Amino acid sequence: MKPAADLIITSANELLTLRGHSSSPKTGKEMDDLGIIPDGCLAISEDRIIACGSMDEVLAEVSETPDTVKIDASSRVVMPGFIDSHTHLVFAGGREDEFEQRIKGAGYLDILKSGGGIFNTVRATRAAGKEELIKKSRKHLDTMLKFGTTTVEAKSGYGLTIEDESKQLQVMKELNKIHPVDVIPTFLVHTTPPEFSSREKYIDFVINNMLPKMRGMAEYCDIFCEHEVFDPEHSLQVLTAAKKLGFKLKIHADQLSDMGCARLAAELHAASASHLDHISREGIDAMANSGTVAILLPGAAFFLGSDTYAPAPEMISRGVAVALATDFNPGSCPTESMQIILTLACITMKMSPAQVINAATINAAHAINRADTIGSLEAGKRADVIILDVPNHKCIPYHFGVNLVQTVIKKGRIMRFGCAD
C-alpha cells in the first residue's frame, strides 16, 4: 500500500534537494552541488516529506486521495526553507540615531564605549515587559517567514541580569508556542553591564550565578569575544563552564580583529563560530574538518561599512564548513531577509549562487545541530519548503532586494505570500 500524500508539489523547474549531507556539513567542492532535480516533484504527508524526485518517481511511490492538495511549481524553484542560524531576535527599541552617527563617521566601538550601541538596546530591553517583547519579536518572525526563513536561532544578551536574560529566553519559549517559525534559544554573554566594575567580576557572576539559572532555558551558550568586550581567556572560562552544565557552544569570533577565537571554537568543539571577518590562516586550518561550522555574516560587515569580509573562498577550499546567517539585530544588521544576505555573500565574499544556497540551508542546519530533520528535501525530513518565483537558483541572489518567495510550507502547512499567476 503506497502512502497517501496530503500535498504534492509538481513540475518544479528546479527542485533543489541539497540531499545526502544529513550527517556531516558540506565542504569544498560539495558546496557546488545543490542536488537539483529538473521537473521535480515533492510529496508531503502531515508535517513530513514522504517522497522527493522526478514526477514519475514520486507518483509511483505515493498515492493521491480526493483531499490531496496539488501545487504546480512549473517555472519556479522549490527548495528547503532558509535556516537563519545566528540572530538577536528579541530586543526593544531601535538604533536608527546611531546609524546616522555612523554615517557621519563615528566608529562602532567608539559608540559602544560612550554608552551607546549594545547598551542602548540593553536599556530598552530591560525596560520592556514580556508582552511588548513578544509583540515586537513576533512581527520580525512574520517578516522572516514571508522571506522564506522557517527556522531561526535567537540569542539573549540584551538583559545582562538574571531576570532580564531569563525574560528574553522566556519570550523565545512563548514565540515557539504561538508562531510557526521554530526558534532555537541561545544564552549570549554579550558585554559587561555598567553595574559591574570589571569584566572579570561579570565573568565570575556569569559562571557562578547566571549559567546555572539559564540551563534548561537555552540550548546553546555563546560569548562575544572581541577587544574591549571579552578576550579568549574569558571566553574559554565561560564556555568550559557552560559545557560542563550541558550547553552546546557557539562563539562570536574574530569579527573586528583576529583574536585567535576560530581556533578556540574548534578546540572546544563548538557547534559554530560566527563572523570570522578577520580569521587568520591558522584559524582556517584549525576549523577545517573540525565539525565546527563557520557562520559568516556579511550583512553585519556591510552595514558597519567594513572593507574586510571573511575569506569565504579560501575557507571553503581548505575544508571549513561555511554557513550564512543574517545576524539580525538592531545595531549592526537590521534585516530579517536571508535573500539579501545571499546576494551580499556573492558580491562581497565571491561565493557562488550554489555555495550561498548550501550555506543557508543544509550547512546552517548543521550549525544548529538539526541536519537530521531540516536543511534538505529528503523523505523523512520535516516539510519546511519554499517556492520561489524564479526560473532557476542563480536568480535567487541575482534578483536582489525584493522578496522572491511566493509560498512557504512550514511543517506541511501552506502559507502563500506572493501573487499567483
Answer yes or no: are the C-beta atoms of 253 and 310 closer than 8 Å: no
Give the nearer residue to Zn ion in terms of CB position, either 153 or 164: 153
CA distance 351 to 345: 6
- Which H or E run includes 212? helix 211-214
Binding mask 327-356 for Zn ion (x = CB under 5 A): x-----------------------------
Residue closest to Zn ion when measured from CB atoms: 327
What is the DSSP secondary-structure string of 337-384? Answer: -HHHHHHHHHHHH---HHHHHHHTTHHHHHHTT-TTTSSS--TTSB--
* Bridge-based pairing state of the strands 220-223 and 48-54: unpaired
* Residues between 222 and 241 that touch Zn ion (CB under 5 A): none
Question: Rounded to 5 degrees, what angle do the CA atoms 413, 414, 419 make?
Answer: 165
Give the nearer residue to Zn ion in terms of CB position, either 226 or 327: 327
Give the nearer residue to Zn ion in terms of CB position, either 14 or 84: 84
Answer yes or no: are the C-beta atoms of 49 and 379 closer than 8 Å: yes
Answer yes or no: are the C-beta atoms of 327 and 333 closer than 8 Å: yes
Answer yes or no: are the C-beta atoms of 387 and 71 closer than 8 Å: yes
Question: b/e per residue, 306-337, with b = 16+ CB within 10 A?
Answer: beebbbbeebbebebbbbbbbbbbbbbbbbbb
Give the nearer residue to Zn ion in terms of CB position, either 165 or 327: 327
Grid look-up 535567537 returns 154
* Residues between 311 and 330 that touch Zn ion (CB under 5 A): 327
Grid look-up 535573500 returns 339
Answer yes or no: are the C-beta atoms of 52 and 73 closer than 8 Å: no
Q: What is the chain's alpha carbon radius of gyration, rounded to the nearest angstrom?
A: 21
Distance in Å, CB of 281 to Zn ion, minimum: 24
Give the nearer residue to Zn ion in terms of CB position, either 80 or 330: 330
Distance in Å, CB of 88 to Zn ion, minimum: 6
Give the nearer residue to Zn ion in terms of CB position, either 14 or 327: 327
Distance in Å, CB of 315 to Zn ion, minimum: 18
Distance in Å, CB of 57 to Zn ion, minimum: 42
Give the nearer residue to Zn ion in terms of CB position, either 31 or 262: 262
What are the start-end ranges of the E strands in 276-344? 293-296, 322-324
Distance in Å, CB of 244 to Zn ion, minimum: 24
Tally Cβ neighbours within 10 Å of residue 146. Answer: 16
Cell numbers placing 181: 517559525
Give the nearer residue to Zn ion in terms of CB position, either 290 or 329: 329
Give the nearer residue to Zn ion in terms of CB position, either 251 or 408: 251
- Which H or E run includes 286? helix 281-287
Q: How many residues lie near Zn ion (CB under 5 A)?
A: 1
Contacting residues toward Zn ion, per CB under 5 A = 327
